[in-house]
Structure 1
Amino acid sequence: MRPTTKDLAKAAGVSLATVDRVLNGRSGVRQKTVDAVNEAITRIGFERNQVAATLARQRGYRFGFVVPRSGDEFLSVIIKHISEFDQASRAEMIQTKIVRIDEHDPHRAARTLSRLSASEYDGIAIMAPETPQIRDALYRMRERGIQTVAIVSNQQEEDGQSFVGIDNVAAGATAGRLMARFLGTQSGDILVLAETMQSRDSLERRLGFDRIMSPGYPQFHALPTLETHGYPERTKLVLENAFAAHPDIVGLYIMGSEARLAIECARKLNPDKKLITIAHERTPSTEQALRDNTLDALINQDPGHIVRSAIRTLRAKCENRETLASQERIRIEILISENL
């Protein structure tokens, strides 16, 4: 027989009511008591019956996914998986809702976040640039009792359960190694493109990329990162100016999650020149680019896994328990035309 809450209360030396408050993360319990209950959980091997706990709440969980207002194919894939999960999880008493924010205006984004209430949401998964305004808004959200987790691009470093996504430093280093191997004996400049360097995923990918390229391959010069902000006109202008100013460009690394515009512009600007091109995230456009040899390699993370893991992580936070690390680890996938 597995231990019950009565066994846990006895082992911790507290009342059943106190155990209930600790398990549900309610206020009014001293930290010393919380520590005693958590220690007893580990000591006696207590495992909470989550189905019974959810039923006892008399309502399910309500989770929101905060995503940018603008975006292209990768964002569409993320939203598709959120909608699929919402339909499939009704039997588990879990509801998901999509909240759009203006990622180009951090003050407006923070105001949107400030309007999210604990009476409407138990937890929020956010995909957004890291700015002081958004960080502060997330901090105040947690003060209101809403659990938070960042997806794709990190926002916070409180604990191991605050981010769902790949190791972006390792992803950038992978891109660097692939770039150098594909270029072989060539030498020249490498153009690095991002939507915004306010996104920590791009910052970390650039760090990993430089860790490989700078010391290991001196024949290549990785140019300063250029930002497109996701605008077609700016993407075209940035690439035109870069290719005009640097005729020795031999490689293109697209760090952002939306690569379609950059791939199309680079192809039009260099119809007769083969650039070694590395990008992130599997979308219809990046798949096609791999097939027609415009793209050489794709570094991918499973968006469906990200959505499911974010839900499991938020639920675990609401229930004051740890997640299974091996289940939530998002793996880096390397795709080429032959293994699509």
Structure 2
Amino acid sequence: MPATRMMIARRAGVSVATVDRVLRDDQAVRPETADRVHLALAALRDERASRGRPAKISTYRVAFVLPQVNSRFLDHVERNIALSASFFREHRIIPSFYRCDFTIHRDTIAFAEQVIDYDALVLVPLDYPAVERLIEDMSDAGVPVVTVFSDLPASRRAAYVGVDNRIAGRTAGLLMGRFLGARLGTVAILSASSRLHDQLERRTGLSQVLEEDFRNLRWIAEPDFAEDDDGAGLAVQGLLARYQDLVGVYVTGGGISGIATALQESGDKGRIVLIGHECTAETRTQLSERAIDVILDQDVRGIVHWAGLAAINFLNDVRGALAIPTPETRIYLRENAHA
């Protein structure tokens, strides 16, 4: 394997950006710095060409970063990162875990300074300018950022690993339309955060399908909907009061268990189709009891693993680093709730 810019930078004691400038023959680089880079490159080449000597095994420090928001799903992701320790060890990844309050610009900038020395970042981003700046600063420092579960496609992130959330939303829209048939009424799209791109994409996907194929249904969006079960349950009661013709509810984030309980207690579940995300022990039970009609799910552990591998593939300049499979969206109904 050829020497990467990261390897050269470590050997020469300079930044990856400086290595890049030297290799481009940038005359603004000081001669003594350029000499150190060239010597490091020559030494690495000699090591790889030495007879019968195996290449040095490297380890990679990867920071896994989640936003500091109240989310049962992100808590589930955090647990799966912790439970992946043996997998990371096998692939020479030394993981560290962080939660950051991206809503505070100052905290995000300070956090960027804290993680700049990592080899790579795996990040669930929120859509804030400071987060894009964080990704840009990491990229300038030669630290690849892999977004996971939710994306910032306009940023300079190296890759996104996760399901296609637009397709997930469209799948939910098709199922909603098929379940409701020819009925007339309103479908409410409930999102926990307008700053999470995955929820925006799911909302867009469902609304597109309803507009394209199910003109008998109109949709309304309720962004920044409460994700805790109690708050979501109270909020859906307000929806029932405002929309007498409510026939469907699609939950793009958390809170579906609380909504299911509220609909059952009010006696309205029989006329309302409820579709959401994340298959848990609780939602499996509610599927079995017909309190929820459809749950869309994803392989959280597998996505965490693929994101870590994508990060080190970028560090090693591996061809096909982007050839990470797009995970499939799983569909759970009453019949396969416990499969």
State the TM-score, normalizing by the size of structure 2: 0.79
Per the TM alignment, residue 144 of structure 1 is displaced from its structure 2 partner at its CA by 2.6
Aligned partner of residue 314 in structure 2, secondary structure: helix
Report if aligned partners of 2:188, 2:249 keep a CA contact under 8 Å in 1. Answer: yes
Does residue 223 (structure 1) correspond to residue 217 (structure 2)? The answer is no
In 1, Cα distance between the equivalents of 2:147 and 2:180?
A: 35
Does residue 117 (structure 1) correspond to residue 115 (structure 2)? The answer is yes
1:231-270 equivalent positions in 2, closer than 5 A: 231=228, 234-257=231-254, 259-270=256-267
In 2, Cα distance between the equivalents of 1:127 and 1:204?
A: 15
Report if aligned partners of 1:73, 1:283 keep a CA contact under 8 Å in 2. Answer: no
The residue that corresponds to 2:136 in the other structure is 139
CA distance change for structure 1 residues 228 and 91 in 2, over 3 Å: closer, same or farther? same
Instruction: Tell me which amino acid in the other structure corresponds to 2:224.
Output: E
The residue that corresponds to 1:168 in the other structure is 165
Does residue 190 (structure 1) correspond to residue 184 (structure 2)? The answer is no
The farther-off stretch of 216-225 and 149-158 is: 149-158
CA distance change for structure 1 residues 257 and 239 in 2, over 3 Å: closer, same or farther? closer
Deviations along 1:153-198, whole A, 9 cap, x unmatched? 1023468952111111111111000000011232211111000122
The residue that corresponds to 1:68 in the other structure is 67
In 2, Cα distance between the equivalents of 1:95 and 1:258?
A: 33
CA distance change for structure 1 residues 236 and 334 in 2, over 3 Å: closer, same or farther? closer
In 1, Cα distance between the equivalents of 2:96 and 2:302?
A: 17
Report if aligned partners of 2:146, 2:160 keep a CA contact under 8 Å in 1. Answer: yes
Instruction: Tell me which amino acid in the other structure corresponds to 1:309.
Output: W
CA distance change for structure 1 residues 324 and 139 in 2, over 3 Å: closer, same or farther? closer
CA distance change for structure 1 residues 90 and 188 in 2, over 3 Å: closer, same or farther? same
Report if aligned partners of 1:65, 1:96 keep a CA contact under 8 Å in 2. Answer: yes
The residue that corresponds to 2:105 in the other structure is 107
In 1, Cα distance between the equivalents of 2:53 and 2:240?
A: 60
Instruction: Tell me which amino acid in the other structure corresponds to 2:60.
Output: Y
The residue that corresponds to 2:23 in the other structure is 29
In 1, Cα distance between the equivalents of 2:4 and 2:197?
A: 42
The farther-off stretch of 284-293 and 261-270 is: 261-270
The farther-off stretch of 168-177 and 83-92 is: 83-92
Per the TM alignment, residue 292 of structure 1 is displaced from its structure 2 partner at its CA by 1.3
Q: CA RMSD in A?
A: 3.2
1:266-285 equivalent positions in 2, closer than 5 A: 266-270=263-267, 273-285=270-282
Per the TM alignment, residue 226 of structure 1 is displaced from its structure 2 partner at its CA by 3.5
Deviations along 1:45-78, whole A, 9 cap, x unmatched? xxx9xxx99963x641111111133344322321
Report if aligned partners of 2:189, 2:220 keep a CA contact under 8 Å in 1. Answer: yes
Instruction: Tell me which amino acid in the other structure corresponds to 1:248.
Output: D
Instruction: Tell me which amino acid in the other structure corresponds to 1:140.
Output: D
Report if aligned partners of 1:117, 1:144 keep a CA contact under 8 Å in 2. Answer: no
Aligned partner of residue 188 in structure 2, secondary structure: strand
CA distance change for structure 1 residues 257 and 115 in 2, over 3 Å: closer, same or farther? farther
Report if aligned partners of 2:146, 2:157 keep a CA contact under 8 Å in 1. Answer: no
In 2, Cα distance between the equivalents of 1:144 and 1:53?
A: 31
Per the TM alignment, residue 108 of structure 1 is displaced from its structure 2 partner at its CA by 5.1
In 2, Cα distance between the equivalents of 1:19 and 1:70?
A: 33
In 2, Cα distance between the equivalents of 1:218 and 1:17?
A: 55
Q: Percent identity?
A: 22
Runs of 5+ consecutive residues of structure 2 not aligned to the other structure: 27-47
The residue that corresponds to 2:312 in the other structure is 315
Report if aligned partners of 1:254, 1:262 keep a CA contact under 8 Å in 2. Answer: no
Runs of 5+ consecutive residues of structure 1 not aligned to the other structure: 6-15, 33-47
Per the TM alignment, residue 234 of structure 1 is displaced from its structure 2 partner at its CA by 4.5
1:41-80 equivalent positions in 2, closer than 5 A: 56=56, 59-80=58-79
Per the TM alignment, residue 276 of structure 1 is displaced from its structure 2 partner at its CA by 0.6
In 1, Cα distance between the equivalents of 2:260 and 2:328?
A: 24
Report if aligned partners of 2:313, 2:321 keep a CA contact under 8 Å in 1. Answer: no
Deviations along 1:291-314, whole A, 9 cap, x unmatched? 111111111111011101100111
Aligned partner of residue 191 in structure 1, secondary structure: strand
The residue that corresponds to 2:333 in the other structure is 336
State the TM-score, normalizing by the size of structure 1: 0.78
Aligned partner of residue 318 in structure 2, secondary structure: coil
CA distance change for structure 1 residues 19 and 167 in 2, over 3 Å: closer, same or farther? closer
CA distance change for structure 1 residues 55 and 230 in 2, over 3 Å: closer, same or farther? farther
CA distance change for structure 1 residues 217 and 309 in 2, over 3 Å: closer, same or farther? same
In 2, Cα distance between the equivalents of 1:180 and 1:31?
A: 60
In 2, Cα distance between the equivalents of 1:19 and 1:67?
A: 25
